[in-house]
Amino acid sequence: MGGFLAEYGPMRFEKLAQPLLMELIAELGLETNFFVPYTAAKDPDSLFDLTYDESGGKRSGSKLTTLELLKLGILRLLNASDGDMDNPNDPRHRAWWATLDEEYYSYVRNKASYNGKYLYEMGFWNALSFVLSHRAVNKIIHYGTFTILFILTRMQQSGLFSGCAG
């Protein structure tokens, strides 16, 4: 194709979420390499120190990344995990996240609510503002990383919240 320059650089994809792509890669006999998972920035400016009230009186002085803040907000909104709702790193949350499937996502898209209002009617930042402080939401907005943009894009594409884009 004259004049067309293709990008052949590295590409990230989700093996479990993209089965057709994985089948094509296998059919073509292509090799893949492991990519280190996305992580949130951990520099002092991007970390958030939960106040005593924000932490349910448990985590004062514990600094969270913006990704941990986002997880905390989602956990509190859905209130479905058996883990500590003031600790986004409680191992019980990881077990709960692993059980989520399309049926649960459909429930969240269509029926999940907070304080009697459907999540899809709220808008993402408004919903987070019900369960996180204004300071915490601002930290996510202003210091969030590519990971958070990726998560928000996936949430918007799946219809989990209206107005999900930042």
For the chain, give every domain's residue range: 44-157
pLDDT at 165: 44
The DSSP line for 88-120 is TT-HHHHHHHHH--HHHHHHHHHT-EETTEEHH
CB 159 within 8 A of CB 51: no
* pLDDT string in tens for the chain (166-residue length): 566 665 666 677 777 778 898 899 899 998 888 777 667 778 888 888 887 777 777 655 678 998 899 999 999 999 989 999 888 989 999 889 888 888 998 898 889 999 999 998 988 889 999 999 999 998 888 887 655 666 666 666 666 555 444 4
pLDDT at 44: 83
b/e string for 108-117 if b means 16 or more Cβ within 10 A? bbeebeeeee
CB 162 within 8 A of CB 152: no
pLDDT at 59: 59
